[in-house]
Amino acid sequence: MRKLLPCAVALLTLVLAMDAEAQCVMCKAVAEDSAEDGSLGRGLNSGILYLMGIPYAIMAFFAWFVFRKRKEATDVAG
Protein backbone atom coordinates (compact mmCIF):
# COMPACT_ATOMS: atom_id res chain seq x y z
CA MET A 1 0.00 0.00 0.00
CA ARG A 2 2.86 2.39 0.81
CA LYS A 3 4.34 1.96 -2.67
CA LEU A 4 0.97 2.38 -4.35
CA LEU A 5 0.06 5.69 -2.71
CA PRO A 6 2.90 7.82 -4.18
CA CYS A 7 2.25 6.35 -7.63
CA ALA A 8 -1.46 7.11 -7.34
CA VAL A 9 -0.78 10.68 -6.19
CA ALA A 10 1.67 11.23 -9.06
CA LEU A 11 -0.80 9.82 -11.57
CA LEU A 12 -3.63 12.00 -10.25
CA THR A 13 -1.39 15.06 -10.35
CA LEU A 14 -0.54 14.41 -13.98
CA VAL A 15 -4.13 13.68 -14.98
CA LEU A 16 -5.69 16.61 -13.14
CA ALA A 17 -3.04 19.21 -14.04
CA MET A 18 -4.50 22.47 -15.29
CA ASP A 19 -3.22 24.47 -18.24
CA ALA A 20 -1.22 27.55 -17.35
CA GLU A 21 -0.32 30.60 -19.38
CA ALA A 22 3.34 30.84 -20.25
CA GLN A 23 3.64 34.55 -19.55
CA CYS A 24 1.95 37.17 -17.47
CA VAL A 25 -0.55 39.35 -19.30
CA MET A 26 1.70 42.42 -19.41
CA CYS A 27 4.73 40.51 -20.69
CA LYS A 28 2.62 38.86 -23.36
CA ALA A 29 1.17 42.18 -24.52
CA VAL A 30 4.59 43.83 -24.71
CA ALA A 31 6.08 40.86 -26.55
CA GLU A 32 3.25 40.82 -29.08
CA ASP A 33 3.47 44.58 -29.69
CA SER A 34 7.21 44.54 -30.32
CA ALA A 35 7.42 41.25 -32.22
CA GLU A 36 8.68 42.88 -35.41
CA ASP A 37 11.63 44.64 -33.74
CA GLY A 38 12.99 41.63 -31.87
CA SER A 39 15.26 43.53 -29.48
CA LEU A 40 12.73 43.52 -26.67
CA GLY A 41 12.14 39.81 -27.17
CA ARG A 42 15.83 39.13 -26.64
CA GLY A 43 15.69 41.21 -23.47
CA LEU A 44 12.68 39.29 -22.18
CA ASN A 45 14.40 35.99 -22.92
CA SER A 46 17.55 37.11 -21.11
CA GLY A 47 15.48 38.17 -18.09
CA ILE A 48 13.66 34.85 -18.04
CA LEU A 49 16.93 32.92 -18.18
CA TYR A 50 18.38 35.06 -15.39
CA LEU A 51 15.34 34.50 -13.16
CA MET A 52 15.34 30.80 -13.97
CA GLY A 53 19.01 30.46 -13.03
CA ILE A 54 18.68 31.78 -9.47
CA PRO A 55 16.79 28.74 -8.04
CA TYR A 56 19.26 26.38 -9.70
CA ALA A 57 22.18 28.30 -8.20
CA ILE A 58 20.59 28.09 -4.75
CA MET A 59 19.98 24.35 -5.13
CA ALA A 60 23.57 23.83 -6.31
CA PHE A 61 24.87 25.71 -3.27
CA PHE A 62 22.84 23.56 -0.87
CA ALA A 63 23.91 20.36 -2.67
CA TRP A 64 27.56 21.43 -2.40
CA PHE A 65 27.07 22.31 1.28
CA VAL A 66 25.50 18.91 2.09
CA PHE A 67 28.19 17.11 0.09
CA ARG A 68 30.94 18.95 1.97
CA LYS A 69 29.38 18.23 5.38
CA ARG A 70 28.92 14.54 4.57
CA LYS A 71 32.49 14.27 3.33
CA GLU A 72 33.78 15.90 6.52
CA ALA A 73 31.69 13.48 8.60
CA THR A 74 33.08 10.44 6.77
CA ASP A 75 36.65 11.77 7.02
CA VAL A 76 36.30 12.18 10.79
CA ALA A 77 34.62 8.79 11.24
CA GLY A 78 37.03 6.76 9.24
Rounded mean pLDDT, 46-70: 92
Distance of alpha carbon 52 from alpha carbon 46, whole angstroms: 10
Q: How far is CA 67 from CA 54, 59, 71, 72, 75, in A?
A: 20, 12, 6, 9, 12
Per-residue confidence at 38, pLDDT binned at 50, 70, 90?
low
**Residue 40 is part of which domain span?**
4-77
Of residues 64 and 15, more confidently modeled: 64
Beta-carbon count within 10 A of 44 CB: 16
The yes-or-no verdict on residue 67 having pLDDT over 90 is: yes
Report yes or no: 21 and 28 within 8 Å, Cβ to Cβ.
Answer: yes
What total number of domains does the chain contain? 1
